[in-house]
Amino acid sequence: MQQSKRRTYRILLAVWLLSSFASLPNLLHGSMAVINVLRSEYGTIARLTCMPTFDDQFRLVYFTILFICLYLIPLALIAFTCFCIARALLRTSILHRQGSLLRQEVNRRKVGKMILVVVVSFTIAWTPYFLISVITQYQKENYFDKHDYYFTMLSINLFGFLHSSINPVIYLTMSARFQKGFMRLLKLVICCQKPTENVCHTSIPDPGSSSRCSHNGITNNQIP
């Protein structure tokens, strides 16, 4: 258990370091730019935004590396893992299993289906963003010059950001353990918001037995 926790911490640390390193060029080569300037007789309204100031060669290399490291490699690893899990699950027959072994096989198949759904959702969510981002870098004529820039960016970013909120829904609908944990957490939150009520613990009246009731922290014993 201790080794599993340490491994989890190492993986989380590696993910955060990789994400920070991938975003570092935007931090080092970013500058403020004025866009959407609206002028009228009442004054001027302008919006400031942070824009990267990459040269053409660096921009091409940078977006290509992001496309490979943050999309192609993760997608290939996830797809390969999903394929191995599916092959192992299909290879094992559950027709002649009984008892706990049968339940384990059924649970494994459910997990395999859930992983497949996660892979499909990842592909659908991030493919538009990375494809458009990398294709525009190789075009001589920018795609956004002839199309609606803000609608396109809003759409592809929305798909990517929705992926983070879709995963919990997938786990909630397809994982029994996740459902139980979520219900326990929900009951805990609801119970913490309710006022204190009378709690009684009763037992079958036998000679010498008692029924115990508590109200607002006061306990009364009554001997029948």
Multiple choice CATH, 54-193, 3.10.580.10, 1.20.1530.20, 1.20.1070.10, 3.30.1300.10: 1.20.1070.10
Domain ranges of the chain: 54-193, 198-224
Q: Could you state, in chain order, the average pLDDT of each consecutive group of 10 residues for the chain (224 residues)? A: 78 87 80 68 72 80 88 87 74 54 70 80 87 80 62 81 82 77 80 55 46 44 40
CA distance 137 to 139: 6
pLDDT of residue 37: 64
DSSP 116-177: HHHHHHHHHHHHHHHHHHHHHHH-SS-GGGTS-HHHHHHHHHHHHHHHHHHHHHHHHHH-HH
3-state secondary structure 100-123: HHHHHHHHHHHHHHHHHHHHHHHH
What's the predicted TM-score (pTM) here?
0.57
- Give the pLDDT confidence score for residue 147 in this predicted structure: 59
Provide the pLDDT for residue 5. Answer: 81
The set of residues, in sequence order, having a beta carbon less than 8 Å from that of 114 and lying 6+ positions away, is 170, 171, 174, 175
Plot region of 211 (φ>0 → left; ψ -120 to 50 → alpha; else → beta): beta
Q: Quick one: how far is CA 124 from the chain centroid?
A: 14
